[in-house]
Amino acid sequence: MNLFSRICPCCNTKEIHIHTHYKTQAHGPRTIYHCANCGIYFSETVETPLAGLKTPVSRIITILKARTDGMGLNATARTFSVSKKSVIDWEKRLGELKPTLMLYTMLHEFIHQDIEGDELYTKVAKNVAPSVSEGWTIVLMEQASGFLWELHCGRRNQQLFEKALTCLAQVIEKTGSLNLLTDGERRYSNLLFEICHDLILSGRPGRPKRRLRKGVRVRLKNKGSQKRPGRKRQKYQAPIPEHPETQHDVTEQTIHANHVEAFNASIRRRNAAFRRKTNTYAKSRKDLQRTLDVYWLVHNFVRVHFTTKMVPAVHLGILSVGISWPQLLTIRYAV
Ligand SMILES: [Zn+2]
């Protein structure tokens, strides 16, 4: 899968050739291709976020950059004299690339990953109790690269955790060995165990034992309540039974590293809906998810990470260089 190759949108063949160039009012020259196989003619922007847009690309990029650097929707509309509707439309178009880039990422294999799980909270629509708020966001972040596997918001319920761990199960399929490090929330480990376990056949009668998939370990950071007299308090726990043939260990350093914390600070700076004590929060769960999808793309594939000084997707080994903003807008939807 090549993110930037041009193929025929009708029959997917690579045997296309340039038919003509034409000049657009705002975008400069554009190319029309012809497919020798099925005979259709198509523009280079077909099925990309830019399809049918008349606004100059440079303006769209400037505005989307401001948004992903923390400018609220209203402020963006005022500053750039652009309608909120246009900004929302561009963000939707960009966010729709997420499945394509996820598919691309999942085509790779990984040797080892340490993944931190955490939940972030912000207000949605109006101020309600956290238990009924739709502003919970599950973050699954790979420690070394800062790559975000999961960034989904909703009510803090079973469904939200299930979604995240289904994604994690797919990552596990592609990874040799993996550690999941979470806070005290036990739903991560319990659900992961449900989705992703092996049966150990011992040859003895009775039901085979269930163990977490080979190569996977889960650690919980305990917060108190483990004190028993005479026993040293454990700092972390392995909450679910692990496979006897899992070889790697979880180092103290891995457990204590807290990369999501730094990420939380960054998202509060860069996504207006996560800013504390303001009224710039999202109007609905869907609106919040739209901004999170854009954040996911830009964080993983475009922006240089503040600690590693590399684009997370490059650090993860799935790209040789980061994707530029103009390139991002010309990726064709594959899903
Ligand atoms: Zn064709």
Largest separation between any pair of C-alpha atoms in the chain: 81
| 42 alpha carbon – ligand 1 mean position (Å) | 10
List, for residues 19-59, the tens digit of each pLDDT value.
988 887 777 788 899 998 898 998 888 899 999 898 889 99
40 assigned to some structural domain: yes
Q: How confident is the model at residue 328 (pLDDT cuts 50, 70, 90)?
A: very high
Residues 144 and 31 placed together within one structural domain of the fold: no
- What φ, ψ does residue 286 adopt, rounded to 5°? -65, -40
pLDDT at 222: 61
Verify that 170 and 264 share a domain, yes or no. Answer: yes
- Within-domain flag for 95: no
Give 2 Cα–ligand 1 centroid separation in angstroms.
17
Q: What is the pLDDT of residue 226?
A: 47
In a domain, 86, yes or no: no
User: What are the beta bridge partners of residue 177?
Assistant: 112
Both 40 and 104 in a single domain? no
301 C-alpha to ligand 1 centroid (Å): 30
Q: For residues 62 and 69, is the Cβ–Cβ distance under 8 A?
A: no
Q: Which of 168, 117, 67, 101 is nearest to 311 (CA)?
A: 101
Domain that residue 38 falls in: 1-46
Confidence at residue 191, expressed as pLDDT on a 0 to 100 scale: 86
69 within some domain: no
Distance 16 CA to ligand 1 centre (A): 8
Last residue of one domain, picked from the residues 13, 29, 46: 46
Instruction: Give the mean pLDDT of the chain.
Output: 87
pTM of the prediction?
A: 0.88
**Separation of CA 14 and ligand 1 centre (Å):** 8
Per-residue model confidence (pLDDT) at position 278: 66
Rounded average pLDDT over 305-320:
92
Same domain for 195 and 286, yes or no, is yes
38 vs 184, residue with greater confidence: 38
d(CA 179, CA 165): 13
Q: Is residue 55 part of a domain?
A: no
The pLDDT of residue 225: 45
- Please tell me whether residues 114 and 220 are part of one structural domain: yes
* Within-domain flag for 92: no
The tens digit of pLDDT for each residue in 225-252 reads 445 555 555 567 777 888 888 888 888 7
Q: How many domains does the chain have?
A: 2
> 51 C-alpha to center of ligand 1: Å?
18
Q: What's the 98 CA to ligand 1 centre distance in angstroms? A: 25
* Tokens found for residue 327: 């390139």
Query: Do 104 and 37 have their domain in common?
Result: no
pLDDT at 204: 79
The answer as to whether 270 is a domain residue is: yes
Q: Tell me, what's the pLDDT at 312?
A: 96
Q: How far is the CA of 50 from the centre of ligand 1 (A)?
A: 21
pLDDT at 223 over 70: no
- DSSP label at residue 310: S
Residue 172 — pLDDT band, cuts 50, 70, 90? very high
* CA of residue 309 to ligand 1 center, whole Å: 41
- Whether residue 211 is predicted with pLDDT greater than 90 in this model: the reply is no
Q: Counting beta carbons within 10 angstroms of the beta carbon of residue 132, is it exposed (0 to 12), middle (13 to 18) or buried (19 or more)?
A: exposed
Q: What pLDDT, on a 0 to 100 scale, did the predictor assign at position 230?
A: 55
